[in-house]
Amino acid sequence: VDFAALKEHGVEKMFLLETGAGDAPVQGVVYLVQPNVRKLRLVAEQVRAGSGREHSVQLVPRRTLLGERVLEEAGVLGDVTLGELRLDAVPLDDDVVSLEQPGMFAALYLDGDFSGIQSVARALMRLQGLWGFFPRIVGKGDYAQMLAHSLERMRAELGTGSAGDALALSSAFDAAVVVDRAADVVTPLLTQLTYEGLVSEVFGIVGGAVAGGDAKGARVAASGDDAVYRAIRDVGFADVGALLGAMTRQLQTSYESRHQARTVQEIRSFVGRLGGLQAEHQALKAHVAVAEAVLRRTQSDDFGALLDIEQTLVAGADLDPEQRAYVDRVLALADTHAYVPGVDTERRDPPAPAAPNSLHKVLRILCLCALWRGPALKQKTYDAWYDEIVAAFGAHHTITLDNLARVGLLPPPSAARSQPGSAHANPRGFLRKALNLAVADDADDVAYAYAGYAPLSVRLLQVLTQDPAVHTPAA
């Protein structure tokens, strides 16, 4: 939401929860916060420190007993107006909506908390309320099935029988396709080679903007609202420079057209376009600066080594001695305070040419090795890496490593060998061939975004949507 719109409705200032309103001269503070224990305790501290103000705490996306209990134990429940903001889905772009609940995967697969499924179901029911019921719901995974059952129950609660369904089916949608993240945990660990993917990799993208902004901290748009970003976001980074150059020359030509303006009408026409040209100029300048930082990263030896490891693993091969030496070097030079794009909220310095040796970077490499090599990964190697991570980042990360193993991101080789019910020693290797996940030099295939690897989730979507049952009109 643009701050100007909020200001029209009485909002004077905006603050991050971590900083709070402090000594700002405001009479009332509204907190929009998820019902998270740590965040609510922070709210309670600020409420106690801000006596004399009115405090309203709106829990997003819903009010919970846990939220009430935390505020009650902190002794501030009676000092705040507690409510809820049912923000089921946030539009991040013209064709993307998100619940903006990054902790949902851990809640489902680690904590066994299924409340997130209800949040997804409510968001989809609201969508169906606008466009009609989905004619089909198809998907892959246990949680996809739970979501489908929740949607069926909610539809039944609306009092619509089978006859009513036929009258209320959507003409805008053919089907809803639901894919569990557990069906494809590999893709988020790989490096995208499009402009948008590398901006996310180097800077992070938060709330439709480049995290941290440009070198001066100014906001750089990363959504379809920005014409420059819209034109280059899906382009392979190798072609971005030429495209930005062409856009710059076109803009220069538009500026120079003022010299051809002779009549009052022509001058008025140019003046009318001047605001748009200046906005495009600023956007181009910002994205050129961002692209330069990304280029420095992609030209580093570190980036090339990481990409080489990824491509080796998804091709089904084992790491060679040089690649293993790189992994050992990253562990030896571990930086416990390294910035992680998209995870850390603030970036104070320009991105370094080489990605910092953060825990996040190390775990991405090791998870890819464990997932793709499966039982072929030696237990001795797995144990050595486990011990090195604990030594480099602290003993408390034994919990991190065990949790990753529990959710299937860092499975030990012994577990992969003893997994029952699998007809293939390495299921991912089988799927790579069965679903044509490895595609070389095809600009029309989605694999171009990952240097020749087609995301499994996208292939599943293609398989599901090519099924005639999806497009067959409901009887």
Those residues whose C-beta lies under 8 Å from the C-beta of residue 262, and which sit 6 or more positions away, are none
Tokens of 233: 């976001």
- Asked if the model's pLDDT at residue 469 lies above 70, the reply is no
Regarding predicted confidence, which is higher, 162 or 210? Answer: 210
Model pTM score = 0.80
**Residue 395 pLDDT level (bands cut at 50, 70, 90):** very high
Cβ–Cβ contacts within 10 Å for residue 345, how many? 12
pLDDT on residue 323: 92
Contacts 24+ apart (CB under 8 A), 285-292: 286/214, 286/218, 286/220, 287/220, 287/228, 287/229, 287/232, 287/244, 288/244, 288/248, 289/214, 289/215, 290/199, 290/203, 290/210, 290/214, 290/220, 291/195, 291/240, 291/241, 291/244
8 A C-beta contact, residue 185 and residue 408:
yes
Q: Parallel, antiparallel, or unpaired for β 205-206 and 137-140? A: unpaired
pLDDT on residue 377: 86
- Asked if the model's pLDDT at residue 419 lies above 80, the reply is no
Question: pLDDT, tens digit, for every residue of 428-460?
Answer: 778 888 888 888 777 788 888 998 899 999 888
8 A C-beta contact, residue 283 and residue 221:
yes
- The helix or strand, by DSSP H or E, that contains position 206, with its residue range, turns out to be strand 205-206
- Going by C-alpha positions, the residue among 294, 240, 234, 291 that lies closest to residue 443 is 234
Where do we find the tokens 């044509």?
A: 436
pLDDT on residue 418: 57
pLDDT on residue 467: 47
Residue 458 one-letter amino acid: V
Q: What is the DSSP letter of 192?
A: P
Residue 238 one-letter amino acid: A
Those residues whose C-beta lies under 8 Å from the C-beta of residue 358, and which sit 6 or more positions away, are 334, 335, 338, 339, 340
Where do we find the tokens 């970077």?
A: 361
* Backbone φ and ψ of 135, nearest 5°: -65, -35
- Asked if the model's pLDDT at residue 347 lies above 90, the reply is no
